[in-house]
Structure 1
Amino acid sequence: MTSTVPAPSQQGTKGNLVEMNWDPITRIVGSLGIYTKIDFDNNEVVECHSTSSIFRGYSIFMRGKDPRDAHFITSRICGICGDNHATCSCYAQNMAYGVKPPHLGEWIVNLGEAAEYMFDHNIFQENLVGVDYCEKMVSDTNPSVLAKAENTPAPHAGEHGYRTIADIMRSLNPFTGEFYREALQVSRLTREMFCLMEGRHVHPSTLYPGGVGTVATVQLMTDYLTRLMRYVEFMKKVVPMHDDLFDFFYEALPGYEQVGLRRTLLGCWGSFQDPEVCNFAYRDMTEWGRHMFVTPGVVVDGQLVTTDLVRINLGLRIMLGSSYYEDWEGQEMFVTHDPLGNPVDRRHPWNQHTNPRPQKRDLEDKYSWVMSPRWFDGQDNLALDTGGGPLARLWSTALAGLVNTDYIKSTGRSVEIHLPKTALKGPVTFEWKIPQWSNTLERNRARTYFQAYAAAAALTFAEKALAEIRAGHTKTWEKFEVPDEAVSCGFTEAVRGVLSHHMVIRDGKIANYHPYPPTPWNASPRDSSGTPGPYEDAVQGQPIFEENDREHFKGIDIMRTVRSFDPCLPCGVHMYLGQGKSLELVHSPTQAMGGE
């Protein structure tokens, strides 16, 4: 159980404030550092800065490339959600080339992405986030809470099999916990499901603009469905188990709703295209965006501001502020108007230039390689977050009320998830209701419900795909030509939330390309207006409930908040090689033989 919470470094005190830093944060990918000032007299985090120390630069070396290679290259942005990037890049290419994939091709893409949501959310929630709520962690940070858990019956024990809340916590202990090990086994099934549809995980080998290279057969779908139904049965246990666990924390620690709480500013770019409506044309993007099986939307203070992907696109702004870059003011404008004639801002991704300027970290000035994406609502540049992905997806979909299938339905106030009869359990209906708060526990709860949502959606996609195959419509790819000039964009949801790819083609080559995954939105530092990013905003001002004194402080409440966003730093930062310097290591024969 070592290193489950990184030991904070104490840089000293200022007044009654103690500076504590966690760098790097464990149980995530990437070089994320959280720098705080804590008032232990009042048990409050007073200040927080989110930093990232690596840079890569896809937006630089994509220039001049053949656009048909874009999805293969951008897939390598991340070794976790590479397929989300490949999918989004193919969407952007479909728009640029004016190609509409066959229906079956799109159903296969949807099945692959649904499997990715199930795989990634499962392994992150149960094997990484779950550790923050396991018996060993709670005993180390809040022994009184564990004592209460021992004597608190689990309300849904009959559905998940754990008699008390402490039994649930024990099942989450790494490597020894029953549920921890079960979740690892389940993750194998979902990865196999993905590979059936897209060839390999996590960099698809059969995904292309115009469709997929997957050979679609009844047997292929049967192999997928066999695994999917085992996952569906697993979710009938997982959802009530997590409801019991998260509800218990509200009960055991009055005021815990304040942990990770921030103003409800959520962004969702939509997911799972409906090929019966989607033609990938920009002029029709408002319409086909609203037919996605996860509805795009911006939620401000709990209200749905828009579901229009054109408006969402035009509102994108890339701010610098505390980032290690020079501004691009005065540099070339690639796009002045979108394909519908709407003016495009200089700070839009279509017009972004990436000018890295490495320097020493200064928390009062420049301190991160992550830029600060914002969404302009007509008055303010809003620091939207993704709620870790699922919270924004479910909230937007619920309010929009546009989804209605046999398995998933949005009601205007909730999302209903219908899971059919499985080998050992009858049919079950779950309802995710819009919560009171956008906070740590609700981000985690939404992740559990979205696993069930993705499974239910996959049932719809499999039925649609089987209908195409049985009707003899087995074509999965449509040919296309690359134009000399094009402006395009792709929108989808990566596992952790919003994902967009913006591309400009000139002379048949990429002139400008900018991928914006969820991590820049969530991990952004303070922007040019001084507005903190979502990690920073969610952590600073939150109360501290940990029972350890400052000498033994682990920062569990801070870690729970940061990890509730599902951080993945490779998507937020890019590698930088400075002035082209190279290092060369030369071995002499004597060194090779162990000599001096």
Structure 2
Amino acid sequence: MTTSSEQGRELVEMAWDPITRIVGSLGVYCKIDFANRQVAECYSTSSIFRGYSIFMKGKDPRDAHFITSRICGICGDNHATCSVYNQNMAYGVRPPALAEWIINCGEAAEYMFDHNIYQENLVGVDYCEKMVRETNPGVLAQAERTEAPHAADHGYKTIADIMRSLNPLEGDFYREALVMSRLTREMFCLMEGRHVHPSTLYPGGVGTVATVQLFTDYMTRLMRYIEFMKRVVPMHDDLFDFFYEALPGYEEVGRRRVLLGCWGSLNDPEHCDFTYENMSDWGRKMFISPGVIVDGRLVTNDLVDINLGIRILLGSSYYDDWAGATEPFVTHDPLGNPVDVRHPWNQHTIPRPQKRDFTDKYSWVMSPRWFDGTDMLPLDTGGGPLARMWSTALNGLVDIGYVKATGDSVLINLPRTATKPETTFEWKIPHHKGQPLSNAIERNRARSYFQAYVAACALYFAEQGLGEVRQGHTQTWEPFTVPDEAISCGFSEAVRGVLSHHMVIRNGKIANYHPYPPTPWNASVRDSNGTPGPYEDAVQNTPIFEENTPENFKGIDIMRTIRSFDPCLPCGVHMFLGEGKLLRTLHSPHAFNGR
């Protein structure tokens, strides 16, 4: 076992590489201080370069959403949707209201599908009875003695019963969640034709044939999912609250400064015209409110400010710098505001493969930052739901009956379903000892509440779409022409968080195109100022509560931290010590469940 001494501490070097993913290959390298039960240092790496921003150049801009949806085999529809928003701005086209309600229904179904299968069938494994037995047998013993406060709502008498229900394949809740993922996938396909690369989504609208039957089929499945949510939220509250009680200090696992970004999602067709000039106004009308949150405070909810603040730093990534070596594509936005050379509109991707060196370059992931006028902030998405719920709550703008943002919480009203009465949940901005709290548990908790939130929104969207059909407003597409010159952007939320697409058109072709999904924000590496990215920051200094000795260490607290960000479906973990010596291979119990 390789050890080193730093500042009087004996550190053990350990690595999980690869934590395999559908897009990219995530590795996490740590130095662990077992004497003080703490992670001393962390580096996250990605070993795969893909280069969409390179081969998009010269393409017909009308193909952008078909191409960029292939960026990901999990949330490809989020990319397609964001690209369509981007194109709508470039072409100056406003889709019919019905088309936007259909897109909202589809995107809501994708949020439900992906968060459900990730939370219950992937993250849930980290808290299941088998995993807790291997890593914290003392905690499991306590769970056997602890009655679940909301047993009447979810049906599990003790916390240990909840843990057993999450055991892969064997657990009844684990299997039930798989059925729900099928239903939500069907909901998506009803609206957008095919999952995960939509076949009916276009700039200007959709090709979906809108009928009363379409929305009825969607709502039938949605009500079953809503009934499921009435068990999910209280069950997870019981489970996550128990970890705080059983392991005092667990609030510090995966904790980092509250630096959250949400670009907003789910447009209101009454207000959204996709023009850059009006983007500040229609952005605030989204059903998920945009916002940059620093230390718990809402800094801005203006999409123009959010757009202009994006900076792409290279830092420790395998690229050559373009700044100073190329002429900017865009010097000013359509409102006349200056555009920085490190903004995505002006970015050039110049790969420079090289040997991994943790003192220099060590990853293919760049370092997106948001410039607040003084500092380059390493925003994270809280896995997606934490930033979305937090921003929506603070904005206090959403109020559609089924959901309401209060300024410090979000109220979610789920109507009566087949066997359960009308139910109201309230997600409150998390705090610990008076300070805003962003950690592993709260990222996971927000995912449960957000599923209920977006299900309630979906019911509203379906009702609005159905109303359009019944009034005879069945047009779903608006014609457009492609301009010779344009600059445009699209803002939305992928499942895991912020998503933006930036495009420059010259001579009717794509001159520059840069998509920025949540992964580069969350998995970014140390930037040119030496600031670590969110994965690295959240793991560094996180305490170790696992009961195993270093020889049998599984790193469950580190894995819970990384997986709380939802890093594209980890399905296997390999552990190494020292100079790449294989200590053991850990086969994840959910390895079969790749998508």
TM-score interval for Structure 1 and Structure 2 normalised by the shorter chain: over 0.9
CA distance in 2, matches of 1:181, 1:568: 21
**1:303 counterpart letter in structure 2:** R
Percent identical among aligned pairs is 79
Q: Which moved more, 1:325-334 or 1:20-29?
A: 20-29
1:351 aligns with 2:342: no
CA distance in 2, matches of 1:464, 1:346: 42
Residue ranges of structure 2 left out of the alignment (5+ in a row): 432-436, 571-595
Q: 2:374 is matched with which residue?
A: 379
**1:516/1:300 Cα in 2 relative to 1: closer, same or farther (>3 Å)?**
same
CA contact (8 A) 2:122 2:569 kept: no
1:454 aligns with 2:482: no
Structure 2 residue corresponding to 1:145, chosen from 136, 139, 159? 139
> What do the CA deviations read for 1:99-134 (whole angstroms, capped 9, x no partner)?
000000000000000000000000000000000000
> What do the CA deviations read for 1:233-280 (whole angstroms, capped 9, x no partner)?
000000000000000000000000000000000000000000000000
Q: 1:98 is matched with which residue?
A: 92
Q: Aligned-pair distance for 1:30?
A: 3.5
CA distance in 2, matches of 1:226, 1:471: 21
Q: 2:523 is matched with which residue?
A: 523
Q: Aligned-pair distance for 1:27?
A: 7.2
Q: Aligned-pair distance for 1:24?
A: 1.1
CA contact (8 A) 2:312 2:366 kept: yes
Q: Aligned-pair distance for 1:328?
A: 0.2
Q: Aligned-pair distance for 1:13?
A: 3.5
Q: 2:424 is matched with which residue?
A: 429
Q: 1:297 is matched with which residue?
A: 291
Q: 2:109 is matched with which residue?
A: 115
**1:403 counterpart letter in structure 2:** V
Q: 1:438 is matched with which residue?
A: 438
1:550 aligns with 2:550: yes
**1:218 counterpart letter in structure 2:** V
CA distance in 1, matches of 2:104, 2:172: 32
CA distance in 1, matches of 2:53, 2:18: 25
SS at 1:23 equivalent = strand
SS at 1:311 equivalent = helix
CA distance in 2, matches of 1:566, 1:255: 23
Structure 2 residue corresponding to 1:342, chosen from 303, 322, 337? 337
**1:26/1:163 Cα in 2 relative to 1: closer, same or farther (>3 Å)?**
farther
CA contact (8 A) 1:29 1:569 kept: no
Q: Aligned-pair distance for 1:29?
A: 5.3
CA contact (8 A) 1:88 1:500 kept: yes
Structure 1 segment 171-570 matched on structure 2, within 5 A:
171-329=165-323, 330-436=325-431, 437-568=437-568
Q: Aligned-pair distance for 1:469?
A: 0.2
Q: 2:584 is matched with which residue?
A: none
CA distance in 1, matches of 2:21, 2:408: 34
SS at 1:25 equivalent = strand
CA distance in 2, matches of 1:331, 1:195: 43
SS at 2:62 equivalent = helix
CA contact (8 A) 1:120 1:495 kept: yes
CA contact (8 A) 2:129 2:160 kept: yes
CA contact (8 A) 1:320 1:372 kept: yes
Runs of 4+ in 1 over 4 A off after TM superposition: 26-29
For the aligned residues, what is the CA RMSD? 1.0
Structure 2 residue corresponding to 1:154, chosen from 148, 172, 194? 148
CA distance in 1, matches of 2:184, 2:473: 26
CA distance in 1, matches of 2:45, 2:67: 26
**1:397/1:343 Cα in 2 relative to 1: closer, same or farther (>3 Å)?**
same
Q: Aligned-pair distance for 1:407?
A: 0.4
Q: 2:573 is matched with which residue?
A: none
> What do the CA deviations read for 1:145-195 (whole angstroms, capped 9, x no partner)?
000000000000000000000000000000000100000011000000000
CA distance in 1, matches of 2:11, 2:480: 61
CA contact (8 A) 2:409 2:427 kept: yes
CA contact (8 A) 2:21 2:568 kept: no
Q: Aligned-pair distance for 1:569?
A: 8.6
SS at 1:455 equivalent = helix
CA distance in 1, matches of 2:16, 2:158: 33
Residue ranges of structure 1 left out of the alignment (5+ in a row): 1-9, 571-596
CA contact (8 A) 2:22 2:72 kept: no
Q: 1:86 is matched with which residue?
A: 80
**1:434 counterpart letter in structure 2:** I
1:43 aligns with 2:34: no
CA contact (8 A) 2:118 2:569 kept: no
CA distance in 1, matches of 2:508, 2:421: 55
Structure 2 residue corresponding to 1:13, chosen from 4, 20, 35? 4
Q: Aligned-pair distance for 1:332?
A: 1.9
CA distance in 1, matches of 2:20, 2:438: 23
CA contact (8 A) 1:295 1:393 kept: yes
CA distance in 2, matches of 1:338, 1:538: 35
CA distance in 2, matches of 1:434, 1:153: 26
CA contact (8 A) 2:293 2:299 kept: yes
SS at 2:278 equivalent = helix
SS at 1:118 equivalent = helix
Q: 2:71 is matched with which residue?
A: 77
> What do the CA deviations read for 1:200-256 (whole angstroms, capped 9, x no partner)?
000000000000000000000000000000000000000000000000000000000
**2:192 counterpart letter in structure 1:** E
CA distance in 1, matches of 2:23, 2:391: 27
1:163 aligns with 2:154: no
CA contact (8 A) 1:60 1:354 kept: yes
SS at 1:328 equivalent = coil
Q: Aligned-pair distance for 1:25?
A: 1.6
CA distance in 1, matches of 2:194, 2:59: 24
CA distance in 2, matches of 1:292, 1:247: 32
**2:524 counterpart letter in structure 1:** S
CA distance in 2, matches of 1:569, 1:80: 9
